[in-house]
Chains A and B, each alone.
Chain A
Amino acid sequence: MLSFNALITICLGYVAFLFAVAFWADKRAEAGRVRWVRSPLVYTLSLSIYCTAWTFYGAVGYAARSGLEFVTIYLGPTLVMLAWWGLLRRLVRIGKTERITSIADLISSRFGKSNLLGVLVTILAVVGTTPYIALQLQSVTLSFEVFAGQRPETAVATNTALLVAVGLAVFTIIFGTRNLDANERHHGVVMAIAVEAMVKLVALLAVGVFVVFSVGGGIGETMARIEQSPIAAWDLRPDRWATLVFLSAAALLCLPRMFQVMVVENSDERHLATASWAFPSYLFLMSMFVIPIAVVGLSVLPPGSNPDLFVLTLPLAFDQSSLATLAFLGGFSSATSMVIVAAIALSTMVSNHIVMPIWLNARKGGATMTGDVRQVVLLSRRLSIAGVLVLGYLYFRFSGGGAALAAIGLVAFVGMSQVLPALLGGLFWRGASRWGAAAGVVVGFAVWLWTSFLPSFGEGAILSASVFAEGPFGIGLLRPQALFGVEGMDPLVHSVFWSILLNTCAFMLVSLLSFPTPLERLQGATFVNIMRYSEGARGWTSGFAEAEDLLMMSQRIMGPTEAQALFVAEASAQGKEGFLPDVTPDFLERLERELAGSVGAATAHAMIAQLTGGVSISVEDLMRVADEAQQILEYSNQLEAKSAELGRTARQLREANEKLMALSVQKDAFLSQISHELRTPMTSIRSFSEILMAGEAMSAEDRRRYSQIIHDESIRLTRLLDDLLDLSVLENGQVVLNERDDTLERILDRAVSATEQQTEGRRLRIERSRPDEQVPLHTDSDRLSQVFINLIANAQKYCDAEEPVLRIAVRDIGGRQVVDFIDNGAGIPREAQQLIFEKFARGTDHRAAGGAGLGLAISREVMNRLGGAIAYLPGQGGAAFRVTLPRVRAAAA
């Protein structure tokens, strides 16, 4: 049989081992070798602080009393771990991007960095966790008593709780507040609790295997024993079953210690993927042997044995002292790891949300004042840890231990689960507001106190029996276990139902009715959209703070080395030398997050606000930064519109330029043409006049001939000048039309007879259809006949057929009279058809030097003036022009 002293020795050795492990892990982490310390396995094992001494010992007792119901405590967390992809990943990412230090910090940060909420959640956590710590102290004390009970040294055991509490405080202070880690990670502590997790799993499995295979006689026989045991029938109570699954699921999310290991201590989001199956497996293994141990204990051990201690007393009953020692260490591990992490989590909350704000307020001078803030924070944390453990110990001493304490586990769960509505609402509902969260937490807290916490001390302890029976001041509707007159509910179900229901209602209703501050809305958007935009939106608009002040403050919180490194890095990122970067909103945001990792979001925000004069964001800024994607989209739309406009302008400019170039070319061509056309007759006139001047011996015949040539050339020159003048007048619109009534036939007659006079030699046969020509016209008939003459003359000049024939056809097309002039020549080549109406344009044939190439240009201008048109008509077997006559005015018809 193991002596009590030997047990103490083993226990102290185990504690020394844990110290060594924690020390080793911290050293490794300092050296930067965190790969092993920060593995998914260690992360998963650290989650196992969910299994406290209450579950290690108590689960068997629970099973011995209520059968399978104990397993609900593990089913809830399993469900939460199954939801890792949709829920936990989001939680962990928020924790990392926002540098969340605790669940109170998360709630406070989400709802506009409100310290009021931080304080509320902290109080809730302290009230809910203290009894739980007392419970751990009790379980360690009880387990010591099991061993001491067989020895005379009983007196030692009574002080066990105190010794354990002191030892835990020392360990937690040493490894939990070694430094103000920027990310609140405690490598040593996490490593130590991972080792403890292994110990408790191995211990419980060892006891289970021993019970099933050594005492129970194998799986089959153990199952048979279960069938014959007092808990053979599955006495499932649906309301309790569902409530307990919900409650334990909520606990995994809301318990401060679970939040600490799951979110704050998480170093890599991907560890969740492993934990999602590994942690349920751990729970599976932890609960596998609970019923067998309970059943075998009930049948083997003498009646009246405490079923809560079967895990210890069963091996002892079969004289397996080493197995009993292992089980003891398992229970000890469960208790200590829970207390350590809970104390760290609570001290962080208390220090960040209660001590620091008070300290900052007390020093109105501002955050830059002298005094090392780091020491203050660390001191406040250490005192908080000690305070939490003292509270737990006092609770243990004055509640007197025993059954009342055993029931407190679930009561504490209900208390912390009051954070759940605000937590989930904050993660998924942007409309959740600060006042809504505060209302929900306060209402839930109050209902929990009234229906669960105070009654848990038993009738007559705090609430008198009459309050239970008739309600406070005789108000029956407020009876603690029959709220609003609903009787007959299980007290636990009753409390969970009313507290969560009223909590959620208050939360939603007040959220719907209140209006959040800009910072709240910004944080809400950041939290809810965390999977979409991992970079948070900016919370600061302008830097009124001096970089030097900020550096002074940061040094006091983060330590000189870290703060200077941060400032130098920021300065060099801005392209500056030295320690002082420009105080940009981005920098303020980053700095605030770094500080938040040490002192919590609310305090960090308050400290920076002190330096910047409290200028945080305004609604306008919020709207401006609210959706950068939208902004970028708008901006790019604007750019696109501008670029399209620029493109249009450029095209217009290009077109205008091309027109100008063409005009310039046209002008040059016109000038060169006109000089050429003027020069030819001028040259002949000059040379012949010179001959006349110099030639005395000249026959009269020659003189007459030369004079004739000079005369002809002058006429040609005059005609050219007339034409030019005519064209210029027409083009400028200065022409005066001499309109009168006439018929097409008469105009054509005049044109044909005019051309016949000019004809020398070549005969052009003209085919006309006089009946068609009876078209009355009201127009300038001289001008019109000028056009006709020009067309007929052209045919005379250019038609290259053996027997030139010009057909003049009049027809009605679409209500307009048109006159076609079609000859039987070669026609005009396609490429020239566009040019013939231009000035000085002539067909390739220059036989007829008499024209200057202005005829068709003039004709076109004339027709435009008259309100008609002239165009080349291709595909008629020769050159063909179509003259569209002016509209006949009704009155003139």
Chain B
Amino acid sequence: MARPPEPVFLERQSYRRRRVGDAARFLPLIGLVLFLLPVLWADDATTAGGIVFLFTVWGALIVVVAVLSRLLAGAEPVPGDADGGSDREP
């Protein structure tokens, strides 16, 4: 399906918003890597250390996703609007 031509360059605000969206797409991958990281060193680790690591990472991810959602939710057009689907997909 041929797509209608899109502008090559965007104004700064739209550009920022899209990059925030990109960050939100990367986040689960970063989370996955962090959650799988213990596989490398857990042989020598204790449960107590594991708790500290996992819950720290977990909390940090929650904070990051909260910040990103705030940015994205504030900028997002109201669903159902005609331009609700204007977001570019990678």
Contacts and interface: CB of A to CB of B under 8 A. Distances in A.
Interface stretch (A267-275, A504-512, A647-655): A267-275
B47 A277 contact: no
B48 A276 contact: no
Nearest to A225: B48
B39 interface: yes
Contacts of B68: 85
A857 interface: no
Given A288-B55, A627-B1, A236 B21 contact: no
B1 A78 contact: no
Contact of B36 (A245, A534, A633): A245
A531 B86 CA distance: 7
A236 B4 contact: no
- SS of A interface (majority): helix
Given A68-B50, A80-B28, A280 B39 contact: no
A630 B25 contact: no
Interface in B21-48: 21, 24-25, 27-28, 31-32, 35-36, 38-39, 42-43, 45-48
Interface stretch (A98-106, A129-137, A227-235): A227-235
Contacts of A229: 47
Interface string A758-771: 00000000000000
Interface string B53-65: 0110011011101
Contacts of B3: 532, 629
B66 A277 contact: yes
Given A232-B46, A284-B62, A270 B85 contact: no
Contact of B69 (A277, A529, A534): A277
Given A75-B35, A270-B76, A233 B62 contact: no
B47 A86 contact: no
Contacts of B42: 234, 236
A676 B46 CA distance: 123
B7 interface: no
A270 B21 CA distance: 14
Contact of A84 (B4, B32, B69, B79): B69
A229 B46 CA distance: 11
Label chain B's interface by main secondary structure: helix
A567 B58 CA distance: 51
B51 A530 contact: no
Contacts of A223: 48
Contact of A245 (B35, B51, B65, B76): B35
Given A242-B36, A531-B85, A276 B65 contact: yes
A626 interface: yes
A629 B5 CA distance: 10
Contact of A241 (B36, B62, B73, B85): B36
A532 B50 CA distance: 43
Contact of A79 (B31, B69, B72, B86): B31
Contacts of B73: 270, 273-274
B1 to A, nearest CB: 5
B39 A238 contact: yes
B1 A630 contact: yes
Contacts of B51: 68, 226, 291
B21 to A, nearest CB: 6
A71 B58 CA distance: 11
A377 interface: no
Contacts of B48: 223, 226-227, 232
Contacts of A291: 47, 51
Contact of A93 (B32, B79, B89): B79
Interface string A116-131: 0000000000000000
Nearest to B5: A633
Contacts of A226: 46-48, 51
Given A82-B31, A277-B66, A531-B87, A626 B1 contact: yes
B34 to A, nearest CB: 10
Contact of A78 (B2, B61, B70): B61
Contacts of A78: 31, 58, 61
A534 B31 contact: no
B39 to A, nearest CB: 4
Contacts of B59: 284
A529 B70 CA distance: 25
Given A236-B43, A270-B73, A85 B61 contact: no
Interface in A501-540: 525, 529-534
Contact of B62 (A242, A277, A532, A626): A277
Contacts of B35: 75, 79, 245
Interface of A: 67-68, 71, 75, 78-86, 93, 96, 223, 226-227, 229, 231-234, 236, 238, 241-242, 245, 268-270, 273-274, 276-277, 280-281, 284, 288, 291, 525, 529-534, 626-627, 629-630, 632-633
10 contacts: A86-B25, A232-B46, A234-B45, A234-B46, A245-B32, A276-B66, A288-B55, A530-B85, A532-B86, A629-B3
Per CB-CB distance, the 3 closest pairs between chain A and chain B, nearest first, are A236-B42, A85-B24, A277-B66
